[in-house]
Amino acid sequence: MAKITYREAVRAGLREALQNNPRVFLMGEDVGKYGGTYACSKGLLDEFGPERIRDTPLSESTFVGAGIGAALGGMRPIVEVMTVNFSLLALDQIVNNAATIRHMSGGQFSIPLIVRMATGAGRQVAAQHSHSLEGWYAHIPGITVLAPATVTDARGMLLAALQEPDPVFIFEHAYLYPLEGELDESGLPVDLTLAAIRRAGTDISLITFGGSLWKALEAADQLAHEGISAEVVDLRILRPLDISTVLTSVRKTHRAVVIDEGWRTGSFAAEVSAQIMEGAFYDLDGPVGRVCSVEVPIPYPKHLEDAALPQPEKILQAVHSLMGR
């Protein structure tokens, strides 16, 4: 298996999409001449030209709306929003148009749109560029919400999303872009209905997604040294949520901790916790634990940013608490 970075996997997926379908085009802030804020589209303007790699003004509502219109017109737009915080400027287009037109047209129209955006903290870019709001989007019927955490998923989920007839939103944790990993070609394209077991275990289930996956795996390594076998579940698809895989894991381990970089109140972790309580209450040996971000705007100073986020040490504390250690 080839070893590449997460950003290279995204770029490879974009290139393959553009090569395979002349209706695919990429648009967003700085995706052309600059090569993308996170270098995911570097070189694509030279290869495919300005008709298919389109720089846009700093107006998220406008260019997300243009993507919706292009999709209605038969194109396969991939829209890049620089960061999840800025996507809030396009919520009217997303909630009132992209997510509803199939329903409101009685199924006559579909919107084969992909919207990609960076999410998450850990890079010292302060509160307006660092929040994790993908749980908000998972609340909206009519769209698919993806959170790839591996290089295989970064490429494979994009390719799979191009087969979907309805809007797909892909949240790429910005801290992962330089992450290196092995690209598993046999896992492409990715099944957009299933969560993934990243590490098997028997004593407790660590359930997470996106940038927190690697923290959960690090915590699982440390727990193994203590004689605790932790199973790590990567949700990777937040809507539709594969709760069946989660419940199967919890019924085996009888304990669960959900790790979510969103704020604790109203978090996606709360939704997962509630569904575990509804579907596996009598299999649990204790309450479901949650490790989330501290409820403050993400700080700029590194020591404060680190303190605000889920960390392996906090996951260990939650596991020890549940297991009476």
Of 8, 29, 80, 129, catalytic: 129
Catalytic residue among 29, 60, 134, 172: 60
Asked if 5 and 31 count as a contact pair (C-beta separation under 8 A), the reply is no
Query: Is 320 a residue of the active site?
Result: no
Residue 60 annotated as catalytic: yes
Catalytic residues: 60, 129
